Amino acid sequence: MLRWWGGVAAQLEQVHDPAYVAAVRIGSPRRLAETSGIRWDPNVWHAVRASNGGAVAAVLAALRTRRNAGSLSSGLHHASRASGMGFCTFNGLALAANAARDQRARVLIIDLDAHGGGGTYSIIGQWQAVVQLDLVVSSLDIYTPQAPSTLDHIREAAYYLPVLRERLATLDAGRGFDLVIYNAGVDP
pTM above 0.85, yes or no: yes
What number is the average pLDDT over the span 51-75? Answer: 93
* 81 pLDDT more than 70: yes
Lowest-confidence region among 37-41, 74-78, 90-94, 123-127: 74-78
Q: For residue 1, name the pLDDT band (cuts at 50, 70, 90).
A: very low
Report the mean per-residue pLDDT for the chain.
92
> What is the residue-wise DSSP string for the chain?
-HHHHHTHHHHHHHHS-HHHHHHHHH--SHHHHTTTSSPP-HHHHHHHHHHHHHHHHHHHHHHHHSS-------S-SS--SS--BTTBSS-HHHHHHHHHHHTT--EEEEE-SSS--HHHHHHHTT-TTEEEEEEESS-TT---PPTTSEEEE--SHHHHHHHHHHHHHHHHHH---SEEEEE--S--
What number is the average pLDDT over the span 169-174? Answer: 82
- The architecture in CATH of the region 2-183 reads 3-Layer(aba) Sandwich (3.40)
Lowest-confidence region among 51-55, 100-104, 148-152: 51-55
